[in-house]
Structure 1
């Protein structure tokens, strides 16, 4: 036991040099867990073995099927049992199960962002790639917005942390989510799932699969899901911040010969997201909307109980987006025979086509009042009634082709190599209506075509020690066309401005590392890798000729250092995976200020300098006894800005309460025309809590005299405080919170049915997925009205489980 404990101590202490005082408690806790499991492993009584072992976890992160414990990389795996036990519906459920993930929400799916280790895309638009890629059955999604729909028929989700550019391409600079759908079953089976909650969520899911002939097998799955939302719209009695999805996925597998496999996988989805809106939580009394005397807050917000936990709004225009997605993948694989020089090698061709369209809409004023009747345009009545709103669309068409050669798993030298082609055509149109200074209208097309040669190898140059190398050579052709039209109330597409540009770029990414198997149950590794994300364009309503002259925004680059240990303990009853990392990002693409050639200070997309994320992660599973399985995930992440001297400011009230002044370290900077900017060096990135912890488990209770058995489940997650505003506004700080869920049910011994009951957010703990703050805008009182009087208000976006709710679920197999 002493030798094993010393080995764990050496591994961890080697990776955690010079700990800061505030980090000691976390690091000591992690070390204690490792030593405790080590001690348990050393003292385990073989005679007590009841045959309960952890099942091997197979992943495809390296484009080949491997045991998770043999992959030298930080990967968290959510298997089918975990997804079902936690009723996972879509990507928004993943942060509750994987500590490395957070999601930042916009006002519609096109503005959402997936963050990995605190790093995500904080500048939105079709000219900016995501930092985290989503890959489904080897096929990347062309635009991240398309991932915010039902995760239909999913078998496994792999969370790949840190840059994955070498194998997964340029949209994986911060990480990737690798999704594998369910396989076709060997015998014909039909499965159904029905789920209902007391707050009006429903799911109806069915799948059937099996063999049609000796060479053809098929799988078909369909689902209809919906949730009305957590917000109450007092205008029409409806609900918001929910979603509805209809999804059909198929899979046809054909084996025309002993060495051939052909898989066709079509899919289609229709989605309707009615959110995301943010109700008021505080507001200074006595305000007027847009300082209009006829629109006092007491009238336009009538009936809204402004205060903590408020979920009531007033809105007379739809919010969110309606999407449609269809496409297909085609995989053809050939395994070379024993008489071939490439015996055992697999040559694969993976082709895909995807088409995604999203119509989005938003109530700009967020009211149901007749705002325009009292709005003056050039000192005269606007001549319109109602409020301000916007409509738009996203369109994405993606074509990909991957040709790769995978060596056999046996032998000292193993590799995968291939060629990649991807073509994305994206369109964005946005129209703000019907009149006034806010009115605008544009249409933008972005295109990027990439070609790459890639390869990764593992060479066991000494017994139990391998050298890991990888390289990707990538060429990308990019460009855009941007048309600005005469703004509303014009209803004709009269072009007032047209901009276009083309660019080409070459880049190289790679990795190198060492992997050493201390014994059959312990593997340690060290890895250096680089990441790359392509050039970007600011294709938003702020684009002008002056801004375009300074584009494209340079590419992002990343350097990642990572070390870890993968341990099988207690005679394969337990698993503990540890990783420490430090990743630096240069040229992060972010909206910030600059001086254009005519001397004007503007805000646009450009490179802000640098970010750094570092920390410690742990994943553990423990089959305590045959009936009891526990799992845990932990992440300590310090994601900070290292260079951003012209960052955004937040505002505070002056001492007399009559004006707005810059807050924080905001001050005039001569480099930026003496405009107030904030130096954000050393500040924490938004939505990046330092500590996240996930715990879960299931206990199966055999009932010998019954035709069914019982089971009990539990899940708990906790995260430290986080800030939601990049400008570091303290009013956007979400405090630490923990959420507990419990469940119980019965399961037929012949696996014909399973009936489950769940209590979600057991202790009724309210928390937000977004917080906002405004001072002196929208609502105010100033001359010519009696004043001056500044109105401050705050908002929140309540989580799906911001309050306690109950679920019943029935799974059946035929």
Structure 2
């Protein structure tokens, strides 16, 4: 059994303690200043409203929770044009999204892995239910009540796959009166979206809610081979919900959800092409470049097969809340079925690559793809006190059973690779959290989670005449803990500090080339130790809110995915490595102000230093020489990555925004203007520090103007994305192994990396 326990603060934490003390001294001084400077008391509707979150599995005011949380509600989602999951980076400065593989990182930490045998480091929870794969969450955000972004390890309450944080999505509840919303959206980049929501009572004790959407968008990359646009998408979704309240002590909800999403093409565009580049060192690339100017803003490709991705996700969950004497017993049961299929032209050209690979035996390009199918059953039981006394508690049991199948092939008729695999995961856990009010102003909290996990794998290589099968299993036990202390310096000023341990389970790197050695040497479990101190405060009669956090987390055996070149096929493959030691530390600051009823100002900044502390046997990047740190080791070469920054981990990110709400005289209508600017410093997308994989710093400005009638039934919104038309990429690849050593660079250009405008019509009834 592996136990991960808390230890004393290291000397490095002194700087964090000093920063927290400075924040505390400032907070102590500000309430008095606020009382002197406020000329008049603000009415409740003029100041900032109380925000309720479920960051600790019970409803609590955000300003009273000793956890670093970003929260965006339905109104902010609408005003800031947060339509896709990736748009959440507009409100969470420590969050980054890699859209090339649909993964999320918080404070620089995320597990980028396509393997079905590994879990993510950031857990996505939808209505109390964890999704099987992060990719399931990358659908449209429709009919959402709020999204909470919990930063830092959250394993005590949310489990082992939340070692970097949690994204908690809460959908809207049923209403006890008939209501509805119809919404239409159209943009100049060919998006057409329709949404409809209906809710109301079916009886005195039963209410329903239905939500459906249909969305389509044309591509933003042109395939010169066919003249068609690629990288477009279409999606559909339907959610049905029943809320049953047979008595004041018993409530139940049943939620069914089904969605589909299809992306046409997964086209990477050429960022840089050295003169004379040849596919496999033999086929000249130049004939496939007609009409293409490689560069950071290139949106043209030549593909003989554009490829696709298909997502189909269905889920059913039931929740029961039974209020007992001073307690609430909660049961959450869920079942999910997720299917994903993809196909892509990995040579990225229209050239006859196979003729060179097979010496004329076959013709065409190199296609790879396959299908995933996941099923997951979860059951959670928890008992929580009502939160009113000096001593409060929460305890629970959790069980999940997940099975994922995957098939994969590469090349025509699977000439280069063909395999199938099944991965299973069973998890059982018991957890508790206790809170005790030491004094009227001071509260101590402690939590503990015991986790038992069993994983198995079965892999069959179907390429040989006689298929080869490898099977195995492993198990692991772990205990994680958290202790926090919070103190009210004033009525609306709270200082807190916490120490927590985290854990992410072992796994199998299930990908091409899987063999018995990978079963005998699974990817080791990842453990972490986190220190955090923060302040949450409000001043000037609820007009100004300032929250700040300093943090440091050490990771051992951090699980990270990186691209390496298959020596046999010369094709880039993805493999998972255990980075020896990693540290992420930094500062997060959030400011919200409502100086007058009509103006809302928001700003947040995150400084994150995600540094590799120990990784002596890292793979050398293509072209790395002895002078650049690549040294021979046996039949290979390695580099020491100690002191290097983690991949796709910007040191600085910040968001600033303003919303102005004003009346339109003598019209019965009002206006609303919103501007939002987000910035991030440069990043390297390669764990192994290839200098060609760097995206420079950039900033994006978004804005909207809306008019709404005084009854708030009709709303017309004009919005613009990326108003300065700043191009950027979310992934860069070095394909030198596929091009005979020539550094042919490709990139992913997301939709938001170019300017577009749109119109949204909304009717509430």
- The within-5 A match list for 1:320-359 is 320-336=308-324, 343-359=325-341
How far did residue 768 of structure 1 move?
1.3
Partner of 2:755: 804
The alpha-carbon distance between structure 1 residues 319 and 792, as it changes in their structure 2 partners (threshold 3 A), is same
How far did residue 28 of structure 1 move?
14
Residues 498-507 or 134-143, more deviating:
498-507
Partner of 2:253: 263
Residues 42-51 or 60-69, more deviating:
42-51
Match of 1:778 among 738, 747, 759: 738
Partner of 1:68: 62
Give 3-state SS (helix, strand or coil) of 1:47's partner: coil
1:47 counterpart = 2:30: no
The alpha-carbon distance between structure 1 residues 33 and 705, as it changes in their structure 2 partners (threshold 3 A), is farther
1:412 counterpart = 2:390: yes
Tell me, in whole angstroms, the C-alpha distance in 2 between the residues paired with 1:693 and 1:452: 37
Match of 1:425 among 396, 403, 418: 403
Listed one character per residue, the Cα deviations across residues 753-779 of structure 1 (whole Å, up to 9, x for unaligned) are 11011122122211111122344x434
Partner of 2:7: none
Match of 1:666 among 603, 610, 630: 630
Partner of 1:723: 684
The alpha-carbon distance between structure 1 residues 408 and 15, as it changes in their structure 2 partners (threshold 3 A), is farther
How far did residue 18 of structure 1 move?
8.0
1:505 counterpart = 2:465: no
Q: Retained in 2: the 8 A contact 1:483–1:497?
A: yes
Partner of 1:118: 108
- The within-5 A match list for 1:376-415 is 376-377=357-358, 380-382=359-361, 384-415=362-393
- The within-5 A match list for 1:486-501 is 486=463, 496-501=467-472
Tell me, in whole angstroms, the C-alpha distance in 1 between the residues paired with 2:713 and 2:450: 51
1:440 counterpart = 2:449: no
Tell me, in whole angstroms, the C-alpha distance in 2 between the residues paired with 1:18 and 1:417: 35
Tell me, in whole angstroms, the C-alpha distance in 2 between the residues paired with 1:115 and 1:538: 20
1:306 counterpart = 2:294: yes
Unaligned runs of 5+ in 2: 1-12, 565-572
Tell me, in whole angstroms, the C-alpha distance in 1 between the residues paired with 2:118 and 2:590: 32
Q: How many residues align?
A: 744
Listed one character per residue, the Cα deviations across residues 564-613 of structure 1 (whole Å, up to 9, x for unaligned) are 0000111111111111000011111235899xxxxxxx996453311110
Match of 1:467 among 426, 441, 444: 444
Tell me, in whole angstroms, the C-alpha distance in 1 between the residues paired with 2:177 and 2:514: 57
The alpha-carbon distance between structure 1 residues 442 and 94, as it changes in their structure 2 partners (threshold 3 A), is same
Tell me, in whole angstroms, the C-alpha distance in 2 between the residues paired with 1:91 and 1:251: 22
1:631 counterpart = 2:582: no
1:522 counterpart = 2:502: no
1:375 counterpart = 2:369: no
Match of 1:541 among 503, 512, 523: 512
How far did residue 371 of structure 1 move?
2.8
Q: Cα RMSD between the aligned structures?
A: 2.5
Tell me, in whole angstroms, the C-alpha distance in 2 between the residues paired with 1:198 and 1:32: 51
Give 3-state SS (helix, strand or coil) of 1:768's partner: coil
Decide which structure has the larger Cα Rg and report it: 1
Q: Retained in 1: the 8 A contact 2:266–2:306?
A: no
Partner of 1:148: 138
Q: Retained in 1: the 8 A contact 2:726–2:753?
A: yes
Give 3-state SS (helix, strand or coil) of 2:247's partner: coil
How far did residue 557 of structure 1 move?
0.5
Match of 1:365 among 334, 347, 350: 347
How far did residue 666 of structure 1 move?
1.4
Q: Retained in 1: the 8 A contact 2:251–2:320?
A: yes
The alpha-carbon distance between structure 1 residues 124 and 593, as it changes in their structure 2 partners (threshold 3 A), is closer
How far did residue 797 of structure 1 move?
1.6
Q: Retained in 1: the 8 A contact 2:63–2:536?
A: yes
Partner of 2:669: 708
Match of 1:288 among 278, 286, 292: 278
Match of 2:85 among 91, 109, 134: 91
Partner of 1:582: 552
Listed one character per residue, the Cα deviations across residues 656-715 of structure 1 (whole Å, up to 9, x for unaligned) are xxxx8567311113xxx2521111111001111111111112111112411211111110
The alpha-carbon distance between structure 1 residues 36 and 730, as it changes in their structure 2 partners (threshold 3 A), is farther
Q: Retained in 2: the 8 A contact 1:483–1:495?
A: no
Tell me, in whole angstroms, the C-alpha distance in 2 between the residues paired with 1:804 and 1:478: 46
Give 3-state SS (helix, strand or coil) of 1:517's partner: strand
Listed one character per residue, the Cα deviations across residues 348-386 of structure 1 (whole Å, up to 9, x for unaligned) are 1110000000011111211123333x3253xx432x222
The alpha-carbon distance between structure 1 residues 771 and 50, as it changes in their structure 2 partners (threshold 3 A), is same
How far did residue 298 of structure 1 move?
2.5
Tell me, in whole angstroms, the C-alpha distance in 2 between the residues paired with 1:29 and 1:214: 54
Tell me, in whole angstroms, the C-alpha distance in 1 between the residues paired with 2:233 and 2:173: 27
Give 3-state SS (helix, strand or coil) of 1:615's partner: strand
Listed one character per residue, the Cα deviations across residues 769-803 of structure 1 (whole Å, up to 9, x for unaligned) are 1122344x4345xxxxxxxxx63322222232222
Partner of 2:121: 131
Give 3-state SS (helix, strand or coil) of 1:791's partner: coil
Tell me, in whole angstroms, the C-alpha distance in 2 between the residues paired with 1:50 and 1:330: 40
How far did residue 55 of structure 1 move?
0.8
Tell me, in whole angstroms, the C-alpha distance in 2 between the residues paired with 1:32 and 1:467: 21
Tell me, in whole angstroms, the C-alpha distance in 2 between the residues paired with 1:44 and 1:376: 76
Listed one character per residue, the Cα deviations across residues 224-265 of structure 1 (whole Å, up to 9, x for unaligned) are 112223211112222223322100011101112231111000
Tell me, in whole angstroms, the C-alpha distance in 2 between the residues paired with 1:319 and 1:610: 38
Partner of 1:611: 582
1:791 counterpart = 2:755: no
Listed one character per residue, the Cα deviations across residues 704-758 of structure 1 (whole Å, up to 9, x for unaligned) are 4112111111101111111111111111111111111121121010111110111
Listed one character per residue, the Cα deviations across residues 22-61 of structure 1 (whole Å, up to 9, x for unaligned) are xxxxx99999997997686244324263551111110001
Q: Retained in 1: the 8 A contact 2:562–2:686?
A: no
Q: Retained in 1: the 8 A contact 2:110–2:122?
A: yes
Tell me, in whole angstroms, the C-alpha distance in 2 between the residues paired with 1:509 and 1:35: 34
Q: Retained in 1: the 8 A contact 2:605–2:654?
A: yes
Give 3-state SS (helix, strand or coil) of 2:363's partner: coil
- The within-5 A match list for 1:652-663 is 652=623, 661=625
Partner of 1:569: 539
Listed one character per residue, the Cα deviations across residues 381-425 of structure 1 (whole Å, up to 9, x for unaligned) are 32x222110120111100000111110121001111111111111
